[in-house]
Structure 1
């Protein structure tokens, strides 16, 4: 194989040598003016070829520079857009809790919030010699409304219910408290009168609750739930 390649190479050199010899013989047989024209034509052809190479090289470099600039501009624009989007999202998220709190704090837990409530905590008051709770306090929360409230079911006639729910201050959200200090149980033959509830507070996390059950006539405290923290499960 190596000998074949060498032989082909030598044959090619021989053919090239013959071609050059023929061209030289042709050129030497020309008169002065044809020779001069041939030389000038060769110089022009060489100049045109060199110029074409230079122009092509410059064009390629210019195109490469333009492409690199466009890529840099695209990356910069994408980075600025991402930064702006991140800042906008952060601002929206930061503003969201306080904006929602304005609509939730102090509002009544309507059907929308009640439909998906969860029971965060339950407290029962059972009188002596009884098996069923006389009074039940429940802390309820709605995932949909991001709210919480206190519901009380009280079967004791002539009693006063005081219930409190509170969201404490946070770095990005001011606290809020709802309290019903004077819910008096009367005419408990009507089942609806046994139920009472506080207004809602915006509650993305935990709340603080307390409860006091007293007799209306004497002020005697029958049951108390000390202030404590309750968090959604």
Structure 2
């Protein structure tokens, strides 16, 4: 069972999102918050697997709440759920350690797929957001490629192999199956890769993999 914290200051939005999540028998919404400060407190006290956070909330916005949750409860995967898809929000969400970014205007199936993905250790961006990120990366890929290759050079051959699969969007279980190793070993590799690259989450690692040419 995937335990979920849902935070949004609009009751109707929370009810709608909760209804969508309720259509999947593998989900359990264990806590709901109406502001960012409450979301942080509930994440610490309930230890959910995934925290779904709106970006614009009172007392503490979703981005600040995400940063605090990642510091205080690093085992909680954070997904930003918002009506706003501007590039600055996407970049900020990734910077604070969010593992996913979904638009409220998207297909409900994206929400379900995104929660499953981040709960399984992968990253997930809604298709519209992913297109924006890739387009932005493509514009400056040549200028950043050399720097990314230097960062990747510190990794072992196996770590680069794992990084490439992270960049391809695979979960820990999928990587384990591809490389014929246990999932715990994959988690250890990913943790080491994040540390050696100096990044906070899989999305940032995937971007480096893309810029370094490890992912088509």
TM-score interval, normalised by the smaller of the two chains: under 0.3
Q: Whose helix proportion is higher, 1 or 2? A: 2
Larger radius of gyration: 1
Q: Using structure 2 for the length normalisation, give the TM-score.
A: 0.20
Q: Using structure 1 for the length normalisation, give the TM-score.
A: 0.19
